[in-house]
Amino acid sequence: MPITVGHDSAGTRRTLSAGTQSVAYYSIPAAQEAGLGDFTRLPAALKVVLENMLRFEDGKTVTTDDIRAFAEWGANGGKNPREIAYRPARVLMQDFTGVPAVVDLAAMRDGIKALGGDAQQINPLNQVDLVIDHSVMIDEFGNPRAFQVNVDREYERNIERYTFLKWGQKAFQNFRVVPPGTGICHQVNLEYLAQTVWTDKDQNGEEVAYPDTLVGTDSHTTMINGLAVLGWGVGGIEAEAAMLGQPISMLIPEVVGFKLTGAMREGTTATDLVLKVVQMLREKGVVGKFVEFYGDGLDNVPLADRATIGNMAPEYGATCGFFPIDAETLKYLELTGRDKDRIALVEAYARENGMWRDAGYEPVYTDTLELDMGDVVPAISGPKRPQDHIALDEAAKAFGEYVKGQREGKDTSARSEIRWEGEGGQPEPVDIPGDEGHHERGFVMTDDGHYQLHDGSIVIASITSCTNTSNPYVMIGAGLVARKARELGLNRKPWVKTSLAPGSQVVSAYLEAAGLQDDLDAIGFNLVGYGCTTCIGNSGPLAPEISKCINEADLIGVSVLSGNRNFEGRISPDVRANYLASPPLVVAYALVGDMNVDIAKDPLGQDKNGNDVYLKDLWPSQSEIAALVEKTVTREAFQAKYADVFKGDEKWQAVETTDSETYDWPPSSTYVQNPPYFQGMSPEPGTISDVRQARVLAILGDMVTTDHISPAGSFKDTSPAGKYLIERQVPVREFNSYGSRRGNHEVMMRGTFANIRIRNEMLDGVEGGFTLGPDGQQVSIYEAAMAYQEQGTPTVVFAGEQYGAGSSRDWAAKGTALLGVKAVIAESFERIHRSNLVGMGVIPFEFTGGDSRASLGLKGDETVTIEGLASVKPLSEVPAQITYGDGTEKTITLRCRIDTAIEVEYIEHGGVLQYVLRDLAKAA
């Protein structure tokens, strides 16, 4: 389907020749010549957005004043928060967030027919790629059959979802599915899908070149900014609107420049660099801003390292972390098998349009900060936030302090521990006296050959996630650590669940070519699948005896993973402390099995001769790693692995589906159900209703993430979601995960606010998704919400700072809306979740004037009334009356975080998809 460009009143369209091709493009220098302003020193990231304005300028949605605003941005020192309409070139999805998006599109086809429209009006207008990467779980590990067993179980669990996705691939235009077992969406995007400069035909049939841009239904879409492709995560709701031709309403962002100088020193990795960057930018405060990396130090940062830094933009809070096009960009495009003409076009286009980074590149930024990469030290982050940076030589001490804080005020004089007798052994409780109130630390090998688990036992060590497995330098480094450990006779500790889940098949190709996969296998890091696995909570069950040990003794179990997220309750229900580390350090921690050991200086174990082995004995040099990367990571490997990327294996090809323009919803399916959003919808919207006499559903603290709000990971049969499945004869073994059931709103709304670590301040010392129901008794949040809905009583949620941080889980907003929550009142919101709430018709509000949930003394027995919403304007302030349980009243002022005019319309329609559906139905 051709792109529809604007009428170009400024005359900025030009022709560019590169390689064997000649294409049209929209010229920023031409806009400057036309008198629209001086754009010379704009950051490259912002020039990408400016080009978007030039290409779609039509005098209505985008005007020449919008274009001039970018020149004013530079003149104002990097600030001009004008609202603009931005259109990305394409959309990227993974299956957890993608399935509900396709479910919504299928439901919209039903909905538009009910309104008298044509089902074929519901089609993506832009290219949409969905990569199935979130479904594989680590059931089997540490042996050669692990990969095949996990793949087989993946298909057994997910055949309903895969059948539905194959239907969608046939039914919808511009929609492609990358089958299971291929890789992680961000890595597939980096290595294959992205082009840096995109081309397409316009409505006149002429080929047009423009910057490759995208939004994705996963927060780590930002990884692609390492390849100079502007992209960030949005909620599934916002992505669906973009697919259907709706521009993304946004403010011209501030751009923070991060200057890199120097070079990484021996013994450090890209992971160490990114963890330091995360810490610095979180301290700086870049939420809602672009970050652009510049400085001569970029000459020493390979593209794989840039992608690692870009990947973790959500962890430092930025919209994106962008790297301009330079010689390294071209080198990577060549390495990964991109077309030669495309590479020539990327260089020519970037130079012509002022997006090329040369020596001395230093544009105007809103603010800057600087890092000499020579100051970076080996590090990890944890135990529960990515920004909790810890130098490696301080890690054991920091963990000890964490344990002390967790145990403070608790009786540890006699703890019930479990001894575990290796493979197949049965645990049995034994009383272990404490030492002056402190819990004994570490693993102890007893005389009878038993192992004793303690606080700090590392029970999961996983090389996982697109963040690091996309980087051959750290993956080859991990393989070399494994090789040296194997040569010396070291092995993983038997209580550590080890796994290797690369982000693409290319990783396996170069590990095998280097002979390193055999070494990884020898110490338990066998291939378990190509997918996100541990990073998203698909770590699979621990051995029953280990799980029993941890839970009966209330131990602080530990995971170490090469991922990007380590929030509470995310990785495994049995693990309380989670640490992010480079792949080589994941291997090292698996060898020692204990977070209390200072691996920077203490022995990791003994060799075959009984000599102590230290980390420095295993650590490869940078030259050793670089030589193997140069030898084994080849253009031919990328071309071979991506030759039939959409074809899939025999299992995918055997999935059968029907040809129909609307989906025949299977009534018995517990994976895919027709959602209620469009059922019985009127042709016209209403007005925004005031919130009157609402009850409080939950009072939540600071940094409540979408992992806390949205259903994620596994769940028990005693939970509301578990009971729902049991009632439908689904055995516990087949529960799968919340993420895999995102296409069923009945499961998902029951799991909203049900995270095992969430703390509702209405209840003292209670963890999990509980609250007080209408009768004042403690019940699950789902049960309370349904009781309030039955009464016709609206509800609100109160929260602290950075509400909705973390992954861009659309179900954090969808579930909130389906539970009947009309407003969320917080001290501050993270960008994507605020947008998602608006997209689902839930109004976000922020406290003003120093008010907070704490200063107001909220207990949860209050009622809340918010008035003046029928005529609300973007970012306006409105009064809210709080009536306390004792009858006293207080009126406060809230800032309505409906940020733009189009968002007002979304709320009036009940959500963005309802807005789009009514608009399309009118056009029929």
pLDDT digits (tens, 9 = 90+) for 869-889: 999 999 999 999 999 999 999
Task: With a cut of 60, say whether residue 426 has pLDDT above it.
Answer: no
Q: For 320-334, 616-630, 795-809, which range has the lowest pLDDT when averaged over its residues? A: 795-809
Q: For 80-84, 442-446, 505-509, 756-760, which range has the lowest pLDDT when averaged over its residues? A: 442-446
Residue 410 confidence (pLDDT): 63
**How many CB atoms neighbour CB 52 within 10 A?**
25
pLDDT in tens, 148-172: 999 999 999 889 999 999 999 999 9
User: Which residues make Cβ contacts (< 8 Å) with residue 721, sequence separation at least 6?
Assistant: 711, 715, 738, 741, 747, 748, 750, 751, 754
Dump the DSSP string for 36-76: S---TTS-HHHHHHHHHHHHH--SSSS-HHHHHHHHHHHHT
User: Which residues make Cβ contacts (< 8 Å) with residue 492, sequence separation at least 6?
Assistant: 461, 498, 523, 524, 590, 591, 593
pLDDT mean over 430-454: 46
The answer to pTM > 0.95 is no
Task: With a cut of 60, say whether residue 358 has pLDDT above it.
Answer: yes
Which tokens go with 474? 């750290």
pLDDT mean over 725-733: 94
Residue 675 confidence (pLDDT): 94
Cα–Cα distance for residue pair 196/184, rounded to 1 Å = 19
Cα–Cα distance for residue pair 739/564, rounded to 1 Å = 18
pLDDT tier at 399, thresholds 50, 70, 90: very high
pLDDT mean over 499-513: 95
Residue 414 confidence (pLDDT): 32
pLDDT mean over 62-67: 96
Mean residue pLDDT of the chain comes to 91
pLDDT tier at 237, thresholds 50, 70, 90: confident
Cα–Cα distance for residue pair 645/567, rounded to 1 Å = 33
Task: With a cut of 70, say whether residue 275 has pLDDT above it.
Answer: yes
Pairing of strands 414-420, 451-452: antiparallel
Residue 222 confidence (pLDDT): 96
Task: With a cut of 90, say whether residue 922 has pLDDT above it.
Answer: no
Residue 292 confidence (pLDDT): 98
Domains within the chain, CATH numbers bracketed: 13-85 (no CATH), 90-375 (3.30.499.10), 379-632 (3.30.499.10), 691-710+752-923 (3.20.19.10)
Residue 808 confidence (pLDDT): 62
> Rounded to the nearest 10 degrees, what angle do helices 831-839 and 901-909 cross at?
40
Residue 449 confidence (pLDDT): 55
Which tokens go with 126? 């832009």
pLDDT mean over 642-659: 92
Q: Letter for the amino acid at 882?
A: I
Radius of gyration of the chain (CA): 27
CA torsion 298→303→309→311, rounded to 10°? 150
Q: Which residues pair with 882 in a beta bridge?
A: 864, 890
Q: Letter for the amino acid at 845?
A: F
Q: For 301-305, 451-455, 635-639, which range has the lowest pLDDT when averaged over its residues? A: 451-455
pLDDT mean over 836-851: 95
Torsions phi, psi for 176 (to 5 deg): -120, 150
Highest mean pLDDT among 275-279, 536-540, 822-826: 822-826
Q: For 132-141, 211-220, 531-540, 596-605, which range has the lowest pLDDT when averaged over its residues? A: 531-540
Which has more pLDDT, 414 or 13?
13
pLDDT in tens, 296-320: 999 999 999 999 999 999 889 899 9
Which has more pLDDT, 25 or 217?
25
Instruction: Note whether 215 and 91 are within 8 A (CB).
Output: yes
> Rounded to the nearest 10 degrees, what angle do helices 472-488 and 583-592 cross at?
30
